[in-house]
Structure formats: structure tokens, C-alpha cells
């Protein structure tokens, strides 16, 4: 077992609502195994699963262990040992978590637990978020008067538009304090996302250029190779914009565009990120039509198989107007970013899995280098922050090409996390869980930031709700032609989607 460079989390009971569900076995338990193996949590972490499924703890353990073996998680002896340690501290309560009976059992469990500290994780459909928070409060389970902490962790989506997000926040805050609420966006757990702040604020040569005097535009891409698959019912009611933009992509945007915080405590960082989201320009209907594109994939081959069109997917309406791709052009109306466009795009069934931030710098004011024949103009410098799958940084610059004639050539200076650090088999939730357990909200969203994000996309939601069909695009492509037109009318091009493989960016 490796030794962490931070103290282990304090003793607590981690209460998981939806313990027998997919999220728990696919992400939550593997995360806790990783944390046990690395020493981020000790033997004083206890897990209490809550689920509607009948049966006792053996039923839950059997489901979890079956998945872990099938997924290959137990092939590593150290992970197997961590799981064997963790499984001894798992308990289970079967019951309806909309009724008081379950909460009385939870209260009784915590009253006999080694520690009264508790964190409640809502691994349930979003329509239950408010109900569970209310029941926890009504049954005294959020009371911190004894000195023990009580916290809730909520997965996205936080509402489905501005009004519903405001209503959910109001309901939560009516029963708990903001300091007890940890709104999880798993992108914020990724090393590369957290490294955006370090890259900026620990390197004078980068931060000095981080403004509209030197930056031409910013691109944020979250392309997915996978299609909607078995999630047709959820996706048809949600769409690419709601699923990705107000949360994942806006969190990346906020990291890029925020001002330096006074310190790196949670409230200072969240204050600066909130200012960015509140500064996003709110569009009129006409502006939204001009600066937004939506698409839906058609039938076609991808990854060696024939993919049906989105509208032919199980549990999707044949006449659905829901988008599986979205591209937006946005502005952050601050002095630092005045006039700098932020281009965002995300989609399913695309060319590759590729999440990245591309900072394109302005051209040099005068390129005195001689041009030879068809040699193009100097390409702009770019900083590429690769979030996934090949986490790292690339800096694209121009150098002299070897030879007697003065010719320039673009090259890429590459850094890959996997080449320099042992990042292991991480889920991305390890840092989020640790911060939840120790009470640091830096990596979690606040109510005002959530609502500011929804306010920025609401004009697009309103426009598309009026009707019309998303533009078609072929599976395995980079999206609809209209997305290329969105950026090319400004004299720019999208950065290549390639999954971040080193060597492809020269």
C-alpha cells in the first residue's frame, strides 16, 4: 500500500442512497477501493448502503463483487486486498427512501457507529434529490450540533433549466446549509482539470499572456466516441446541451477564464469561478440562433459496427428533436476576455474520445521570415490542455527547419502525465471523495454558479424548444457541417479531434 502525501480522512460513515445501482458498483466502490489501497481512508471508514432492492448485506456484496471481478478490478493483488478490507465494513438497509422508516434505521445505525460523522451520497435519479434532503433534515440527520459533521453529495444534473435549478437549490438550502452541500461534477476530479490553475498561476510566462492582448480564441471540446446506447430514455429527455454544457464544459471554461484568487481556499476559488459564469453574455433569441448549433447522429458505421440513427435508438421518440451534438460561441464580458470568443462543442458518436482545451494565441505582429514557394504563414502558437484520454499538455511553437535555407516548421512540446507519474487506475472521484470527507469544497459547485450556468444556456433551450430539427451528422465524424460554419465564418477552424495521442499534433 502506498503512503498518501496527505493525512487520511477522518472517521465517518459514508451513506450511499442507491447502493445497488450502476453508479455505485461502476464508480463509487472502485474509488473507495483505490482510496483504501493508497491510505487516503483508514479502517474507520464505514459504508452504509440504502436501496429499494430487498435482501441483506450479502446480496449487496455479491452484486458488487461480481461486477468487480467481471471488470478486472480484482486482478491486482493490492486492489483485491483493499476490497477484502473494505467489504468487512459495508452494511445495508433495504427500504423506500421516500418514507421515514428508512431514516429512523439510518439514525439508529449512526447512533451506534464508531463515529457520528456522516456523508450522504445521492446515487439516485435527480427527482429524488429534494425528497432525500428533506427527509434527512426532518429526521435530524443533518444536525451538526453535537460537533459531528453531516454532508450531502449530489451528482448532476442540478435541474434541467434555470427555473428548475433555482427551485432545487431553494429546496436544498431550506433544509441544509450551503457549507453542507457538495455538488459533484466529476470533471473537477481529473488531474488535468485541476492542473489548469497550477499551469496558469505557477508559471509567469503563461499567466502574463493570459488575456485578450495575446489570446485570439479558446476552444473547449468534449467529444465522445460512444453513442447513446441503452440510455435512450434519459438522453431523449436531456440532450447534449443539458447533459454537458452548464456543468462539465462551463467548469473548464471557468478554470480557464477565472481571475487569480486571493488564496486557494474553497470560497476564494468558487468566488472567482462564479464571477466568470455570471459574466457569460446572455443572448437574445436572434443571438442564440446565430451562435448555437445542434446536431443528431444518423445511421452509419462506427468502430466496426453499424449504428442506428439516434431517432431509431431504443426508448427514443422517432420524431425526437433532441440533440446529440451542440456547438456554441460564447463571450465572457470582462476586461481580461473582452472580444475573445470561446467556442464549445460536445457530442456523441464522434470521431474519437477527446476532451481538451485549446488556447490559440494571436499571430506575431510582423513575420519577417522569408516565405518559400507555397510555404504557409506562420501558424499561431497553441497551448493544448488534454483532459482525457491521454492526459497532458502540448505547446505548439515554430522553430527553424534544419538546412541552409531559413524556413520555419511547427513543432509540439509534449508532456504526458503517464510518462512522468504513476497515476494508476484512477476513477477521477478519488480527490472529490477525499475533499468531501475532509470538508473542502474547492472542487464542488456552489448554488450561484449552477444558476449562472443555466442562465447562459437558457436562450438556446428556449429557442430550440420552439421546434426544428437538429442538423444531421454521420457517426465517426466531427459533427454537422453547421458546426464548422459556426467557427469558419470567423476565419478560424476547429482543432483536430484525435484523442490526444502524442505525435499527431505537429
Per-residue model confidence as pLDDT tens digits over 375-410: 557 788 899 998 888 888 898 887 777 877 777 777
Residue 112 is a catalytic residue: no
Cell numbers 499561431 correspond to what residue? Answer: 380
96 assigned to a ligand binding site: yes
Judge contact between 433 and 35, C-beta under 8 A: yes
**Total residues belonging to the chain:** 506
Residues 6+ apart with CB under 8 A from 293: 325, 326, 327, 328, 471, 480, 482, 483, 485, 486
Regions of the chain where pLDDT drops below 50: 1-3, 502-506
Q: Which of 46, 175, 248, 495 is flagged as catalytic?
A: 248
Q: Are 33 and 86 spatial neighbours (Cβ–Cβ below 8 Å)?
A: yes
Q: What pLDDT, in 10s, does the model give residues 339-366?
A: 999 999 999 999 999 999 999 999 887 6
Predicted pLDDT of residue 334: 97
Taking the C-alpha atoms of residue 178 and residue 277, their distance in angstroms, rounded to an integer, is 19
Was 46 annotated as part of a binding site? no
Residue pair 64/103 in contact by the 8 Å Cβ criterion: no
Contact 225, 350 (CB under 8 A): yes
Q: Which residues of 164-185 are buried (b: 16+ CB within 10 A; e: fewer)?
A: ebbebbeebeebbeeebbbbbb
**Does 190 carry a binding-site annotation?**
yes
- Beta carbons of 449 and 273 less than 8 angstroms apart: yes
160 annotated to bind ligand: no
Q: Which residues contact 481 (CB under 8 A, 6 or more apart)?
A: 471, 473
- SS in 3 state form for 414-441? EEEHHHHCCCCCCCCCHHHHHHHHHCCC
d(CA 493, CA 485): 9
CA–CA distance from 455 to each of 235, 278, 323, 462 (Å)? 21, 8, 19, 11
Q: What is the pLDDT of residue 369?
A: 63
**Do 106 and 50 contact (CB within 8 A), yes or no?**
yes
405/419 Cα distance (integer angstroms): 35
Q: Which long-range contacts (C-beta less than 8 Å, at least 24 apart) are formed by 409-416?
A: 410/379, 410/506, 411/506, 412/505, 412/506, 414/502, 414/503, 414/505, 416/390, 416/391, 416/392, 416/502
Domains and their CATH numbers in the chain: 12-155 (3.40.50.720), 188-366+384-393+446-489 (3.30.360.10)
3-state secondary structure of 208: coil
Tell whether residue 97 is among the known ligand binding residues: yes
**Grid coordinates of 27:** 464508480
User: CA 277, CA 238: separation in Å to the nearest integer?
Assistant: 21
Q: How far apart are CA 38 and CA 28, in angstroms?
A: 16
Give the pLDDT of residue 181.
Answer: 95
User: How much is the pLDDT for 150?
Assistant: 96
pLDDT of residue 194: 76
**Contact call for residues 432 and 188 (beta carbons, < 8 A):** yes
Is 191 labeled as ligand-binding?
no
* 14 among annotated binding-site residues: no
462 is in an annotated binding site: no
Longest dimension (CA), the chain: 83
For residue 425, the model assigns a pLDDT of 64
In the sheet that holds 354-361, the strands lie side by side as 408-416, 392-400, 382-388, 354-361, 215-223, 341-347, 325-331, 292-297, 471-473
Nearest Cα residue to 220 out of 494, 498, 500:
494
Entry pTM: 0.90
Q: Which three cell numbers stand for residue 259?
A: 481571475
pLDDT for 59: 92
H or E segment and range at residue 364 = none
Cβ 465 vs Cβ 454: under 8 Å: no
Burial class (CB in 10 A: 0-12, 13-18, 19+), 143: exposed
Amino acid at each position: 500500500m502506498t503512503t498518501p502525501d496527505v493525512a487520511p480522512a477522518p472517521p465517518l460513515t459514508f451513506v450511499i442512497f442507491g447502493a445497488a445501482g450502476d453508479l455505485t458498483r461502476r464508480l463509487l466502490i472502485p474509488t473507495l477501493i483505490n482510496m483504501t489501497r493508497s491510505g487516503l481512508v483508514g479502517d474507520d471508514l464505514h459504508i452504509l448502503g440504502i436501496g429499494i432492492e430487498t435482501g441483506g448485506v450479502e446480496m449487496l456484496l455479491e452484486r458488487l463483487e461480481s461486477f468487480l471481478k467481471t471488470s478486472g478490478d480484482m486482478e491486482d493483488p493490492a486492489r483485491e486486498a483493499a476490497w477484502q478490507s473494505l467489504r468487512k465494513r459495508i452494511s445495508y438497509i433495504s427500504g423506500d427512501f421516500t418514507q421515514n422508516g428508512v431514516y429512523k434505521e439510518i439514525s439508529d445505525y449512526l447512533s451506534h457507529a464508531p463515529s457520528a460523522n456522516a456523508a450522504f451520497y445521492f446515487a439516485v435519479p435527480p427527482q429524488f434529490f429534494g425528497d432525500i434532503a428533506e427527509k434527512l433534515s426532518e429526521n435530524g440527520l443533518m444536525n451538526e450540533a453535537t460537533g459531528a459533521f453531516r454532508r450531502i453529495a449530489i451528482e448532476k444534473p442540478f435541474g434541467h433549466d434555470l427555473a428548475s435549478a433555482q427551485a432545487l437549490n431553494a429546496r436544498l438550502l431550506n433544509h441544509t446549509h450551503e457549507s453542507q452541500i457538495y455538488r459533484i461534477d466529476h470533471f473537477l476530479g481529473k488531474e488535468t482539470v485541476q492542473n489548469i490553475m497550477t499551469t496558469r498561476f505557477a508559471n509567469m510566462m503563461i499567466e502574463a499572456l493570459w488575456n485578450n492582448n495575446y489570446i485570439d480564441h479558446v476552444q473547449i471540446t468534449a467529444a465522445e466516441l460512444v453513442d447513446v446506447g441503452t440510455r435512450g430514455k434519459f438522453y431523449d429527455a436531456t440532450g447534449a446541451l443539458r447533459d454537458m454544457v452548464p456543468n462539465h464544459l462551463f467548469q473548464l471554461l471557468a478554470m480557464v477564464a477565472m481571475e487569480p484568487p486571493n488564496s486557494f481556499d474553497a470560497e476564494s476559488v468558487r468566488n472567482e469561478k462564479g464571477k466568470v459564469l455570471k459574466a457569460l453574455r446572455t443572448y437574445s433569441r436572434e443571438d442564440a440562433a446565430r451562435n448555437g448549433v445542434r446536431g443528431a447522429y444518423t445511421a452509419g458505421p462506427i468502430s466496426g459496427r453499424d449504428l442506428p440513427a439516434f431517432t431509431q435508438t431504443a426508448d427514443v421518440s422517432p420524431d425526437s428533436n433532441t440533440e446529440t451534438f451542440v456547438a456554441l460561441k460564447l463571450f465572457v464580458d470582462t476586461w481580461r476576455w473582452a472580444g475573445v470568443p470561446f467556442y464549445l462543442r460536445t457530442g456523441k458518436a464522434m470521431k474519437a474520445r477527446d476532451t481538451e482545451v485549446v488556447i490559440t494565441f494571436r499571430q506575431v505582429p510582423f513575420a519577417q521570415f522569408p516565405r518559400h514557394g507555397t510555404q504557409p504563414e506562420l501558424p499561431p502558437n497553441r497551448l493544448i490542455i488534454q483532459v482525457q484520454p491521454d492526459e497532458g499538455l502540448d505547446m505548439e511553437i515554430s522553430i527553424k527547419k534544419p538546412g541552409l535555407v531559413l524556413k520555419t516548421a511547427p513543432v509540439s512540446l509534449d508532456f504526458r502525465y503517464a510518462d512522468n507519474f504513476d497515476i494508476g487506475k484512477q476513477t477521477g472521484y478519488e480527490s472529490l471523495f477525499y475533499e468531501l470527507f475532509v470538508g473542502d469544497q474547492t472542487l464542488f459547485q456552489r448554488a450561484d454558479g449552477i444558476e449562472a450556468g443555466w442562465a447562459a444556456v437558457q436562450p438556446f433551450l428556449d429557442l430550440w424548444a420552439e421546434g426544428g430539427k437538429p442538423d444531421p451528422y454521420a457517426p465517426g465524424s466531427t459533427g454537422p457541417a453547421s458546426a464548422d460554419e459556426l467557427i469558419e465564418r470567423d476565419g478560424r477552424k476547429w482543432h483536430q479531434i484525435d484523442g490526444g495521442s502524442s505525435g499527431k499534433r505537429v
